[in-house]
Amino acid sequence: MQNLNVGLIGGGFMGKAHSLAYAAMPMFFWPAPAMPVRKVIAEATDELAAQAASRFGFEKSTSDWRSIIDDPDIHVVDIATPNHLHAEIAIAAAEAGKHIICEKPLARTGEESKAMYDAVKNTDIVHMVAFNYRRTPAVALAKKYIDEGAIGRVISFRGTYLQDWSADANSPLSWRFQKSIAGSGALGDIGTHVIDMARYLVGEFTSVNSVMSTWIPERPLQSGSADSLGNVSGGEGPRGAVDVDDEVLTMVKFANGAIGSIEATRNAYGRNNFLTFEIHGTEGSIVFNYERRDELQVCFASDPGDRRGFRTVYTGPAHPYGEGLWPIPALGIGYGETKIIEAYDFFKAIAEGGSVSPNFADGYQIALIDDAIIESAESGAWVDVPRIDA
Ligand code: NAI
Ligand code: SOE
């Protein structure tokens, strides 16, 4: 079994999740496809980097991410910084021939995402964009039902991602509210997770018709480099402008004829990580809610009329990734397990010399969908989604 040395850039929320995944992946999936070695972690300052190395179990630390790119011992570059750094780091990593896992959204715009995709296409680099929610076993099970034709032809998809961490006007001006860093707001931050699910489960988008709103135009400035994600202050002190969307709602037409809607907001009081979809087919329906992520609701037209209704399947050893997870259904998986599964599939692709989805082509296509949604919200018209040549 080969050791693969990881250079992780960014030691915040995702730095923590990815470090956990590297440590735990071989404990869950054994024999592991490869052993991730937590070699070096980069943070914004030497002090933050040293702290991150001690906390997350890395051998070395640096405040210069370029030293990771230049290090011939590093096999994998993991990009867990805010969005504005993804393109520059990924392109440098690709030029150095490193395998790359990059957090979502791939970048701030379609144009930036294209440059990243161009840097890896026609190479042997394994590249992945970290839309981890599709690796929830219940979501992978939904995919299996659909692929097996259990609900017939898919005719509609309704997806939501609703949170409330920024509903309070005094929650701070995270980098997630600044276009120059984030690219877009709820759309890029959480709407893209639903778009990834929709492409995974239904297929390509052909056009969108959208509305977007910004409910809270300025927020208190936050101090420190880590994002305080909704840590509400008293609201004193200077405020800065929000120049991204707080909420997005779009209608979708899919290439296979299905229609749908996608809604994303971080201003929905009472909703925490309400990432849901409801899919109707000609022979049945499937419903998923991440807040109850071990469960999949399914209803089949073939059931006798007097017994027809949603039933709950609890995911466990019999389901996708079950061989590596817990031995009894409904013991419960968490956010961490979705990242462990993501790491497993990524390292498997490297070890086997294959590829993995979602990758930079998917990330780029999603960025083009985002661009079309923004254009439609500005014009009020349906906008066609260009399809990348992958
Ligand atoms: P965060 O703000 O918690 O952490 C980012 C870290 O990057 C900070 O600690 C910051 O000091 C560091 N950083 C900034 N500039 C740097 C530089 N030049 N060199 C090294 N480190 C630097 O942000 P979070 O939540 O971890 O988000 C990071 C990325 O992960 C974003 O792209 C975000 O969209 C994505 N994300 C994905 C999630 C998922 O479910 N897949 C969940 C949360 C975030
Ligand atoms: C904040 O909305 C956030 O951390 C997103 O950035 C992630 O992508 C999502 O998984 C959880 O919420």
Ligand lying nearest the CA atom of residue 61: 1
Please, which pLDDT band fits residue 390 given cuts at 50, 70 and 90? confident
Residue 340 has a CB neighbour count (10 Å cut-off) of 27
If asked whether residues 73 and 170 sit together in one domain, one would say no
pLDDT at 188: 98
Question: For the segment 122-134, what is each residue's pLDDT rounded down to a tens digit?
Answer: 999 999 999 999 9
Find out whether the beta carbon of 44 lies less than 6 Å from any atom of ligand 1.
yes
CATH number, domain containing residue 261: 3.30.360.10
- Give yes or no for residue 230 having a pLDDT over 90: no
| Helix pair 13-28, 335-352: axis angle to 10 deg | 70
If asked whether residues 305 and 159 sit together in one domain, one would say yes
pLDDT at 346: 98
Q: Tell me the CA–centroid distance for residue 291 and ligand 2, in Å.
A: 14
If asked whether residues 291 and 220 sit together in one domain, one would say yes
Question: For the segment 155-176, what is each residue's pLDDT rounded down to a tens digit?
Answer: 999 999 999 999 999 999 999 9
Find out whether the beta carbon of 170 lies less than 6 Å from any atom of ligand 1.
no
If asked whether residues 239 and 156 sit together in one domain, one would say yes
pLDDT at 223: 74
If asked whether residues 173 and 283 sit together in one domain, one would say yes
Mean pLDDT, residues 132-152 = 98
Find out whether the beta carbon of 10 lies less than 6 Å from any atom of ligand 1.
yes
Structure tokens given for 127: 């590249």
Sheet containing 154-162, strands listed edge to edge, beginning at the edge strand earlier in sequence: 311-314, 295-300, 284-289, 274-281, 154-162, 259-265, 247-254, 205-213, 383-384
Q: Is residue 62 part of a domain?
A: yes
Question: For the segment 43-96, what is each residue's pLDDT rounded down to a tens digit?
Answer: 999 999 999 999 999 999 999 999 999 999 999 999 999 999 999 999 999 999
Ligand lying nearest the CA atom of residue 174: 1
CATH number, domain containing residue 92: 3.40.50.720
**172: domain range?**
137-332
If asked whether residues 190 and 165 sit together in one domain, one would say yes
Please, which pLDDT band fits residue 183 given cuts at 50, 70 and 90? very high
Q: Is residue 389 part of a domain?
A: no
Of the candidates 71, 101, 131, which is a domain's last residue? 131
Mean of the per-residue pLDDT values of the chain:
97
Structure tokens given for 47: 């002090």
Ligand lying nearest the CA atom of residue 273: 2
When divided into structural domains, the chain yields a total of 2
- Give yes or no for residue 222 having a pLDDT over 90: no
Which string of DSSP letters, residue by residue, matches 225-245?
SS--TT----S-S-EEE--S-
Tell me the whole-structure pTM to 2 decimals: 0.98
Of the candidates 332, 354, 370, which is a domain's last residue? 332
If asked whether residues 87 and 116 sit together in one domain, one would say yes
Q: Report residues whose beta carbon is within 6 angstroms of any ligand 2 atom.
A: 163, 189-190, 266
- Give yes or no for residue 233 having a pLDDT over 90: no
